[in-house]
Structure 1
Amino acid sequence: MRFRWVLFLILIIILSPVIFKPGSVDAQENVQGERFKIVEKTFIQFTWRLVSRDGRGICTVKIDHEGFPTNNETLAACVIDLEKLGPAVTPFPEGTPQPTSTPINLNQVFLETYWVFESSQEVTTTTKVKIPDMIVNIYAPGLPVSAPYIVIKAIEPYSEFHISRIAGTINNDPFECLSDQCIVPLIQDARIKFWAESSFGDQSQTITATARSYISNNFYNVRITTIDRKIEFTDSCRQIWSGTAYGESPDWVVFPESP
């Protein structure tokens, strides 16, 4: 039994990219926070002026495509100026219902106006795009195994980047894997701290978990008994019914500290 356990443990270490380092593996400082990238877009901007039949300028519309401005673009840029073209509404005496203004009839407006092309120019805009946070989790094998281990996986949701490293400590002994998956052998029950790093240049939050194992029928059963994501648990249903429902939260909503 001992020989088979040692052989399986050696096999895991060979196949897994996990590296146990004699020094220390530290989480980087000041790398968490909002993830975003700046996206630049360059396009040709066309400027049109809406003019009445008597040559009076009504408003100016800027668009990013060839052709005349659409009805929606015209309304967005000229709604206040177009309202002035309608008949004036005389208010009624105070205390009586007030009349409503006549809705804008764009078709009628376009019969009495025409477009004048003013200019075109190249415009560059910058947009701040939010990048989703990395997803990191720890798993125990779902079935009994010959030698105990846990698996840490990380996902970089943004397709332009990838997970460059998973690192942490197991009972204060540092380890790292230069990939998005890490198989970590267990010698005993362990307190594990781990995080993931991305080619984007940042790292995830540090997660702390406890893994325990026990022998049954000559095989090891591994369980993750606690996991701390630095997120305080709240009973959302109890919050909604606060002041209406009474009593304590049931036991099943609390993650146990140990089996």
Structure 2
Amino acid sequence: MPFSRKLLIAIVLMLSTSLLLGGPGHGPTPVYAQDEAPTPTATPAEITRKTTLTVTFTETEWWLARWSDNDIACRMYVEHEGQPTQDEILTACGQTIFNEWQKTTQCNEASSDCKGYYLYPLTSYEGTRQVEVELPQPAVWLSIAGCELQFPQNTCNAVPQLVLTGEEPLPNESIIRINGSVNGQPFSCQSDSCILPLQPTGERGLTLEFWADSSFGDSSPTYSAQLRILPKGDFMSPDQASSDAPLYYVDVISSQWRGGPTASCADTWQVFPEVGGPPAWLTTPANAAELGSTKAFYYLAGALITNGEVDAAGCEGGGLEAPYLANACGLEKARPQLETWQNQFDAEIWQVARDTGVPAMLMKNMFSRESQLWPGIYESYKEAGLGQLTEKGADTVLLWNPSFFDQFCPLVLDQSVCDLGFGNLGQNEQNMLRGALVSKVNAACENCPMGIDLSQAAFSVRVFAEGLVANCEQVGRTISNITEYRPGDIASYTDLWRFTLVNYNAGVGCLAHAINAAWQSGQPLTWDNVSANLEPVCQSAVDYIGDITGMQPIVPTPTSWVFQGTPLPQVTPANYRTPTPSAVQPTPQPGAVTPTPTPSGYNGGPTPTLSGYPGAVTPYPTSPTVTYP
């Protein structure tokens, strides 16, 4: 190689090494620490935005009085409509009086023979108080410029620029500066946006930290991102000319990314997907039609024949090999209806994938494996919906997907109870939520055509997507607890999804044992090593993953770890799809204010008439002679 060309290559390499980020850009560009400019501000301390508001409230004083002599047992002051809740009465009156009040039976006459206690609203008044509230914080969002990112391969025809955009939610305030560091090298932009020119990074990518300063006097939280830019082909080779057109793989992992779809759960695990995008079974196609399938589902065909949707009278055994299992003749008779049925949920699957990031192809394959798209096939195993949700599966989604829990719980329990979090609820409340969730995805319907509520089955798709997100979280925590490493540091993106499917199908106990066994023996956490360490009772998960990832014709099987314990309470919550806020309803009490009209939630408690008893002087509670709780 001529000396001049070697010198040119050396200069290029030196420049690339010294400038991880370089090249001209349009718009605000960063000032780096080595430049002659004001020093970037330090990483912000944690600051909570607060303001004080004047709030008007109405407070009602309630008395709990004894029927026999109108003696006041205790007083309560409540700021909501309706009677005091059970918790409020218990706190104000103590356990003994509370228990006696709960035993009080209906008493509509003014008589000293009435036993127990009744509630009496004494007076109400309006007041104001100063309340300290938290204000929304500023934020910074990431996107790219300079190329159009093509999905799902995540390719660009040029090296892109990273765009950081500040957002200030408060009126009359603005973002004045965006700060951060790239692989430890600080930068600062004196604006509400910042453009970082990029260069190819290598397989491990680079780490970005960033935040925004506000004119309010505080800063946004400090965010992080991982970026990877890899050239495709030999067009960058310095030794020889290449006919390859410039093409780059671009991956960004951050909670603040707004530049397009990201590999599902990549942010949770802090891992880049394989170069060129994930395998086909972990993708979402460009449209719902591409999810279409023509699989020979013998169980689905059998269900259609059994429920009279297909006439297979000309076949041996009426087209059935066994109940809900078609023979070859029955399958052929059912072909047209079979293809229509197995694709009728594709639009819902595709939309849910767009909304949640969970791959559409993965969901379609899982539903095929779990139920062959017939949501009522395993009633005897207490599994519900297209993905055959169990009580334990409901546990996982409620515990490991807090955002889903925050939406679903208030549809079943009081908001004050939900604020405790699923893990802090009592056993009864947890059972009620599990039962409500399983009931919500249960598509079995006695009065529906073929015994299936298709709208309920379609809705279950979203719940199962949220369940997969929860399983991602649980798998990540399991690996971190065992290894003390981030999941993405010791396992590949595709294998982490395989571990997630084990977690979903066989349970976290099976997965944790296999990961721990592989790790303790010094083996890398690959699918081959972890699956080889699954205990015999968990080995069926290997075939389960093989069916889903191989997209082969499959036979549904019941989940191996279905609970066989106490039946769940049957609760029908409000529609989860469109939750609307509503006033908190007090817990139904044994006591009520008036006998007519009957108040909402009335369950037979004492009902003193405020205007007095018929033919008697209006009773009035007398003050107690002792202090009550």
> Normalising to structure 1: TM-score of the pair?
0.55
Residues 1:115 and 2:120 aligned together: yes
Change (3 A) 1:57 1:84: same
Partners of 1:25 and 1:168 within 8 A in 2: no
- Secondary structure in 2 matching 1:174: strand
Q: 2:526 is matched with which residue: 203, 228, 250?
A: 250
Change (3 A) 1:187 1:18: same
Change (3 A) 1:108 1:126: farther
Equivalence for 1:207:
224
Tell me the distance in 2 between the aligned counterparts of 1:225 and 1:116.
60
Tell me the distance in 2 between the aligned counterparts of 1:163 and 1:232.
33
**Tell me, which stretches of 5 or more residues in structure 2 are unaligned?**
1-22, 150-154, 236-243, 255-267, 271-474, 483-507, 519-523, 528-629
Tell me the distance in 2 between the aligned counterparts of 1:77 and 1:192.
51
Change (3 A) 1:106 1:24: farther
Residues 1:47 and 2:61 aligned together: yes
Change (3 A) 1:77 1:186: closer
Partners of 1:136 and 1:204 within 8 A in 2: no
Tell me the distance in 1 between the aligned counterparts of 2:182 and 2:94.
68
Amino acid aligned to 1:204 = P
Tell me the distance in 1 between the aligned counterparts of 2:56 and 2:80.
12
| 1:56 CA drift (Å) | 0.8
Partners of 2:178 and 2:194 within 8 A in 1: yes
Change (3 A) 1:36 1:249: farther
Tell me the distance in 1 between the aligned counterparts of 2:143 and 2:127.
50
Q: What is the CA deviation profile of residues 141-177 of structure 1, one whole-angstrom value per residue up to 9, with x for unaligned ones?
A: 524345x333244576x95478724333558473426
| 1:188 CA drift (Å) | 7.0
Equivalence for 1:174:
187
Equivalence for 2:86:
75
Amino acid aligned to 1:207 = S
Change (3 A) 1:105 1:149: same
Amino acid aligned to 2:127 = E
User: Equivalences for 1:138-149 in 2 at 5 Å?
Assistant: 141=147, 142=149, 143-146=155-158, 148-149=159-160
Partners of 1:48 and 1:119 within 8 A in 2: no
Change (3 A) 1:235 1:114: closer
Equivalence for 1:61:
76
Q: Which is strand-richer, 1 or 2?
A: 1
| 1:210 CA drift (Å) | 5.6
Equivalence for 1:255:
none
User: Equivalences for 1:1-259 in 2 at 5 Å?
Assistant: 12-13=25-26, 16-20=27-31, 22=35, 23=37, 25-32=39-46, 35=48, 37=50, 40=53, 41-53=55-67, 54-64=69-79, 69-70=82-83, 73=84, 75-79=86-90, 80=93, 84=97, 103-105=102-104, 107-108=106-107, 113=118, 115=120, 117=122, 120=125, 122-124=127-129, 126=131, 129=134, 134=139, 136-137=141-142, 141=147, 142=149, 143-146=155-158, 148-153=159-164, 159-160=169-170, 164=175, 165-169=177-181, 172=185, 174-176=187-189, 178-179=191-192, 181-186=193-198, 193-197=208-212, 199=214, 201-205=218-222, 207=224, 209=226, 212=229, 214=231, 216=235, 217=244, 219=246, 221=248, 223=250, 235-236=476-477, 238=479, 239=482, 240=508, 241-245=511-515, 246-247=517-518, 248-250=524-526
| 1:212 CA drift (Å) | 4.4
- Secondary structure in 2 matching 1:178: coil
Q: What is the CA deviation profile of residues 188-216 of structure 1, one whole-angstrom value per residue up to 9, with x for unaligned ones?
A: 75966441215362233263756546474
- Secondary structure in 2 matching 1:17: coil
| 1:49 CA drift (Å) | 2.4
Equivalence for 1:97:
none
Q: What is the CA deviation profile of residues 67-118 of structure 1, one whole-angstrom value per residue up to 9, with x for unaligned ones?
A: xx52xx153333456953877xxxxxxxxxxxxxx95346449976462625
Percent identity (aligned): 11
- Secondary structure in 2 matching 1:219: coil
Partners of 2:64 and 2:73 within 8 A in 1: yes
Tell me the distance in 2 between the aligned counterparts of 1:29 and 1:125.
33
- Secondary structure in 1 matching 2:221: coil
Tell me the distance in 1 between the aligned counterparts of 2:188 and 2:98.
73
Q: Which is helix-richer, 1 or 2?
A: 2
| 1:61 CA drift (Å) | 1.9
Tell me the distance in 1 between the aligned counterparts of 2:63 and 2:42.
55
Tell me the distance in 2 between the aligned counterparts of 1:36 and 1:82.
40
Change (3 A) 1:173 1:145: farther
Q: What is the CA deviation profile of residues 49-70 of structure 1, one whole-angstrom value per residue up to 9, with x for unaligned ones?
A: 233352311221212257xx52
Work out the number of aligned pairs and report it.
216
Tell me the distance in 1 between the aligned counterparts of 2:59 and 2:45.
38
Q: CA RMSD in A?
A: 4.9
Partners of 1:195 and 1:203 within 8 A in 2: no
Partners of 1:86 and 1:104 within 8 A in 2: yes
Partners of 2:51 and 2:135 within 8 A in 1: no
Tell me the distance in 2 between the aligned counterparts of 1:26 and 1:45.
51
> Normalising to structure 2: TM-score of the pair?
0.27
